[in-house]
Structure 1
Amino acid sequence: MSTEAFRIGFLPLVDAALPILAHELGFAEEQGLALDLVRDVTWATVRDRLLYGHTDAAHMVAPLAIATSLGRDRPATPLAVPFVLGLNGNAITFSTALGQACGLGDTLGDPRAVGAALREVTRTRRLRFGVVHRHSSHNYMLRYWLAGVGIRPDHDVEIVVTSPTFAADALAAGEVDGICVGEPWNSIAVDRGVGRIALATAQIWRRGVEKVLAMRAGVAAERHDATLRLVRALHAAAAHFVEPGTAEASAAILARACYLDAPVDAVLRAITDRIRLVAGGVPVHYPDFMFQYREAANFPWRSQAAWLYAQMARWDGRGHDPADAAVAVGTFRPDLYRAALAGSGAPLPGASSKLEGALGQAIGAGSTQGRLVLGPDGFFDGRAFDPDDIPGYLASLP
């Protein structure tokens, strides 16, 4: 098998772990691939490099892949998502002043209780929160929570865009009152004494889709075999990432200047599900704060793409369009995931879509290969999302 090069764009976030480890630990090489990892600072730049052919694939926020296929903010370019790089892993961090005003304690708060305290603050002043991109899970998860606790996004709270790497600086400068970003940037804000973690996004939607591997659909078709090999390399990296005893070595690799350029301890806390809420505090353990590999976590469920599209329809002012929904759902490519891992022993879901948010406990699920167990995936408000009834779902929301 000849070696084939793949350039992959990424942002310095903990959930860029799988392409980094696939490169550093030889999983890509085992598949006959040579990865060239290209670091950027904003998601817009990651997207543009991908669209203009400067990269072959990208670590990307899932909604941005969908928005790009739909032509939101720019001409439509069909993208393919054959692999999910991780679930959850973000947090909502308040400025220290806002944390005090909301009476945050020394544990992660209940989403409804934190929301009620925040709602009282919004009665006296309009707050500003920073998210990493307009089309990001951060934006949609934050909006979902705010609306669910009676706070009106764009009215009671202004939502602006800030790069993850500058989010702590924005808090320190008083430009925003809160941020919703990925790790390690919440922890860095806390360790600098400028932020206080209020919630993990896993408390808003357990097992919510976060980062994905995105490719131009044409590249995925033209380089079909190499794409499948890349999925296999990333899957092997994910299996290694969750093995006991590997976290410290993985954190040391990710923290390097060429990747996250971040303190090793902050990275290690994220990948071991420990969150330091306040400067100098003892980290608290929140199970599955970041989620890779287990329960077919890397499978691109089309129902998760549908939920993200529903949030776009809710907040972008365009409403639901069945043709757009079909494009959005079609961006996720479980067919490529299955083709890559057929015969490997990895659990392969028998369906490509499911009812999201309906599981209160772990259950066995249908699979065409391997034994598949799916864990709790609830939304904080107890709602479930039926991907076959997006209009009904949207009509039920506050």
Structure 2
Amino acid sequence: MVATAVLAARRPGLRIHALRIGYVPLVDAAPLLVADAIGLFETVGIRVTLSPEASWAAVRDKLALGMLDGAHLLGPMPIALAAGLGGLSARLSVACGLGANGNALTLSNRLADALDGPATPQGFAQALRRHGAPVTLAVVFPFSSHNYLLRHWLAAGGIDPDRDLRMTVVPPPMVAARLASGSINGFCAGAPWGSHAEALGAGRMVLGSGEIWPDHPEKVLAFAEAALDRAPEAAIGCTSAVIAAAQWIETPENQPELLRILKQAMPHQLSERELGAAIEGRVPGPALRFRPATFPRRDAAAWWLGQMRRWGHVASEVPTEDALAPYGAALWHAAAQRLGEPEPPPPPPPPAYPRESIA
């Protein structure tokens, strides 16, 4: 059993450390939620307090100000903090990945109806013309996989996201309600918010982020370097518990318990059907995956950085080595060794379109 493997990893006489880890209530926080709910953190001899946060900005601020030891983060966020974007900087170390795929572009019913067939970059450009009125699309944070994958996809259809439509930021728990109110025409967000928007009748999911980049790395677990310096053994133990939780999640007989854990952690009255849609493959594109995503990919981080430079979010004078410094594999290897967990195979390479009509 997974729990037995983690128990074997516990070091006799380990000093008990307490860690405070922030997360945004999303389905891809499941490895953290499961590790807490089934006692894996306790098994490795650490006390973890999970702190639910209302937005990615709140997670960033608390991490930068030392109010959190670690956090569930968007893949580009450690890069943004290393580069001092948004006026805040922090030295982080990425311990492991938490999920792959899982985001969806959800459009208002009117805009979805304007699509003539499957959602392609060119088809969406035509839908914008058919729609007529100005279009506002929301992403969950400026420095997010959602933003950069969506921008890349839009540009492949000749759409300049900074000129041809309005891009705005809405925290994940608010996107479905904002779509229902008509204040936005669509959003790209992680599960379960696309499924929730459909359940409300506010719109339809038309594109999965895994259709832009199959099995792309999504969220990560990262520790503040101060916390890592203070309690390196606790960080390794925490990481091993999270990797073990990813194993547990992808064991089919655990799915009913997984949905119960997720339902308890979510702030809204979401149905198990909504919560399970991305895991069970009832969304556009590849399903949300956990165990294959645990290894932190520096090459994926380099693609995020390239997009951040492309859209003018990271200046050219910021050294690449500094921006990518949070991404290493030492923590993952130390934790995975205790579990006998092999390094998962890499995902497909990042997307490259043959021609774009904008820079």
Q: What TM-score do the two structures reach when normalised by structure 2? A: 0.90
- SS of residue matched to 1:88: coil
Q: Which residue of 1 aligns with 2:6?
A: none
Bigger relative contact order, structure 1 or 2, given CA contacts below 8 A and separation 6+? 2
CA distance in 1, matches of 2:121, 2:88: 39
1:293 aligns with 2:291: yes
1:297-326 CA-partner distances (Å, limit 9, x unpaired): 2111111111111111011255534x4321
- The 1:192–1:331 alpha-carbon spacing in structure 2 relative to 1, beyond 3 Å, is same
Residues 324-358 of structure 1: CA distance to partner in whole angstroms, max 9, x if unpaired? 3212221112111112222532113xxxxxxxxxx
Matches within 5 A, 1:90-169: 90-103=103-116, 109-112=118-121, 114-121=123-130, 124-169=132-177
Provide the aligned C-alpha RMSD in A.
2.3
Deviations 1:129-161 (A, max 9, x none): 001011111111110100011111111111000
Mark the runs of 5 or more structure 1 residues left unpaired by the alignment.
276-283, 349-371, 384-394
CA distance in structure 1 between the aligned counterparts of 2:125 and 2:64, rounded to whole angstroms: 42
Q: Match for 2:111: what amino acid? A: L
Q: 2-side partners of 1:54 and 1:381: how far apart?
A: 41
**What secondary structure is seen at the aligned counterpart in 2 of 1:93?**
strand
Tell me the TM-score normalized by structure 1: 0.81
Q: 1:204 to 1:28 in 2, by over 3 A?
A: same
CA distance in 2, matches of 1:119, 1:380: 23
Paired residues, what number? 346
- Summarize the Cα distance change of 1:15–1:317 in structure 2 as closer, same or farther, 3 Å threshold: closer
Distance in 2 separating the partners of 1:115 and 1:211: 27
Give the 3-state SS of the residue equivalent to 1:310 in structure 2. Answer: helix
* CA distance in 2 between partners of 1:86 and 1:127 (Å): 30
Q: How does 1:1-398 map to 2 (within 5 A)?
A: 1-103=14-116, 109-112=118-121, 114-121=123-130, 124-256=132-264, 261-275=269-283, 286=285, 288-294=286-292, 297-316=293-312, 318-321=314-317, 323-342=318-337, 344-348=339-343, 372-374=344-346, 376-377=348-349, 379=351, 381=353, 398=359
- Label 1:121 to 1:65 Cα distance change in 2 as closer, same or farther (>3 A): farther
Q: Which structure's residues are more often helix, by fraction?
A: 2
- Checking the alignment, whether the CA contact within 8 Å between 1:86 and 1:212 is kept in structure 2 is yes
How far did residue 246 of structure 1 move?
A: 1.4
Amino acid at match of 1:327: D
C-alpha deviation, 1:377, in angstroms: 4.5
Whichever structure has more strand as a proportion of its residues is 1
Q: 1:114 to 1:220 in 2, by over 3 A?
A: farther
- Where 2:19 maps in the other structure, the secondary structure is strand
Q: What's the % identity of the aligned pairs?
A: 33
Residue by residue, what CA displacement relative to the aligned partner does 1:41-79 show, whole Å, maximum 9, x if unpaired?
111111112222222111111112210111001142211
Structure 1 residue matching 2:183: 3-state secondary structure: coil
